[in-house]
Amino acid sequence: EAGVAQSPRYKIIEKRQSVAFWCNPISGHATLYWYQQILGQGPKLLIQFQNNGVVDDSQLPKDRFSAERLKGVDSTLKIQPAKLEDSAVYLCASRNDRAGPEAFFGQGTRLTVV
Amino acid sequence: AQSVTQPDIHITVSEGASLELRCNYSYGATPYLFWYVQSPGQGLQLLLKYFSGDTLVQGIKGFEAEFKRSQSSFNLRKPSVHWSDAAEYFCAVGGSSASKIIFGSGTRLSIRP
Could you read off the pLDDT of A51-105 as tens digits, one per residue?
A: 989 999 999 999 999 999 988 899 999 999 999 999 999 999 999 988 888 999 9
> Is residue B100 helix, strand or coil?
coil
Instruction: Work out the minimum CA distance from B23 to partner chain A, whole angstroms.
Output: 13
**Which has the closest alpha carbon to A3: A74, A109, A106?**
A106
How many angstroms separate the CA atoms of B51 and A99, rounded? 13
Contact between chains at A43 and B34 (C-beta distance less than 8 A): no
Q: What count of other Cβ atoms lies within 10 Å of the Cβ of residue A101?
A: 21
How many contacts does A have with B, using Cβ atoms within 8 A? 62
Which ranges of B39-109 would DSSP assign to H, the alpha helix? none
Residue B90, SS3 per DSSP: strand
Mean residue pLDDT across chain B: 94
Contacts of B46 in chain A (CB under 8 A): 102, 104
Residue of B nearest to A91 (CA): B43
Residue A6's Cβ-count burial label (10 Å; 0-12, 13-18, 19+) is buried
Q: CA-to-CA distance for A4 and A93, rounded, in angstroms?
A: 7
| A69 contacts A96 by C-beta, under 8 angstroms | no
pLDDT digits (tens, 9 = 90+) for A30-54: 999 999 999 999 999 999 999 989 9
pLDDT (average), residues B62-83: 96
Type of residue found at B57:
V
Q: Kindly report, residue by residue over B81-112, the tens digit of the pLDDT.
A: 999 999 999 999 998 767 899 999 999 999 99
- Residue A2 reports pLDDT greater than 90: no
Gap between the Cα atoms of B49 and A20, Å rounded: 32
For B108, other C-beta atoms within 10 Å of its C-beta total 15
**Does residue A75 contact residue A92 with C-beta atoms inside 8 Å?**
yes
